[in-house]
């Protein structure tokens, strides 16, 4: 099952196609004002979750009347609405999450959302975040990640949790073989795909894989 989660950051852009989202077995979650993105593309979410401080009352009432599962939380809590949505998707057996509206607007929220997606508790799920210009994918250690895209695509790989150790890259202009990408350095910026398929593997750490969805 793939969960499509719509959060409320401005300028989500690049919203997914209906047919992609509406495949049988997929789960659509709107996070508070992320419901407005669902309304924009005429998608009825299965679940609406959050403290509902930023969704319009009319839309909340509309979705309630359409039997959307509404899960309300108090405004004063230890988790953001997005973390609650990710926990819900994980609890319902999701193996892959595609997330829109988590990047943009407030820097603190955007950065927090990227780090949240990389939390070890979500390690067994494949998480991707999208905005109008880029995709952000979390790559955990211990398994080979296959990247498919057009040759010439620019790809940046940034360590998120200390150094990324024993990194092996195949199918890139700048390959690596059991090397370390040190946290806080720029070595992983602007690699390039040499073919339609490339692989990424690391034995320790977490990588953030960033791809430009538009022109360079």
Q: Are 152 and 135 in contact (CB under 8 A)?
A: no
What confidence tens digit (pLDDT) does each residue in 73-112 have? 999 999 999 999 999 999 999 999 999 999 888 899 999 9
pLDDT at residue 12 in the model: 61
CATH of domain 2-132: 3.40.50.10240
- Write down the domain spans for the chain: 2-132, 139-212
Q: Are 3 and 27 in contact (CB under 8 A)?
A: yes
Q: Which of 107, 105, 202, 123 is nearest to 158 (CA)?
A: 202
CATH of domain 139-212: 2.60.120.320
> In the predicted model, is pLDDT for residue 215 greater than 60?
no
The whole-angstrom separation of Cα 211 and Cα 18 is 23
Give the number of C-alpha atoms closer than 13 A to the C-alpha of residue 203, restricted to the C-beta side: 7
Average pLDDT, the chain: 92
* Mean local confidence (pLDDT), 120-131: 93
What's the pTM? 0.90
* Percent share of the chain, pLDDT over 90: 79
pLDDT at residue 14 in the model: 65
What tokens does 125 get?
Answer: 């799920």
Residue of higher predicted confidence among 116 and 104: 116
Q: DSSP letters along 88-128, please?
A: HHHHTT-SEEEEES-SSS-HHHHHHHHHHHT-GGGTTSEEE
The whole-angstrom separation of Cα 44 and Cα 27 is 11
């Amino acid at each position: 099952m793939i969960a499509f989660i719509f959060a409320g950051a401005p300028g989500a852009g690049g919203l997914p196609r209906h047919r992609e989202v509406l495949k049988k077995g997929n789960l659509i979650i709107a996070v508070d004002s992320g419901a407005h993105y669902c309304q924009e593309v005429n998608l009825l979410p299965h679940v609406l979750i959050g403290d509902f401080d930023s969704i319009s009352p009319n839309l909340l009432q509309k979705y309630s009347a359409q039997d959307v599962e509404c899960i309300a939380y108090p405004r004063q809590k230890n988790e953001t609405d997005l973390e609650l949505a990710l926990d819900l998707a994980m609890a319902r057996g999701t193996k892959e999450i595609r997330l829109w509206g988590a990047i943009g607007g407030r820097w603190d929220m955007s950065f927090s959302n990227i780090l949240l997606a990389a939390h070890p508790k979500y390690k067994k799920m494949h998480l991707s975040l999208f905005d109008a210009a880029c995709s952000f994918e979390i790559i955990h250690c211990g398994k080979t990640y296959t990247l498919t895209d057009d040759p010439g695509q620019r790809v940046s790989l940034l360590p998120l949790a200390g150094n990324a150790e024993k990194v092996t890259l195949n199918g890139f202009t700048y390959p690596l073989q059991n090397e370390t990408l040190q946290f806080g350095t720029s070595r992983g910026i602007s690699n390039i795909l040499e073919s339609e398929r490339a692989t990424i593997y690391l034995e320790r750490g977490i990588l953030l894989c960033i791809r430009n969805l538009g022109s360079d």
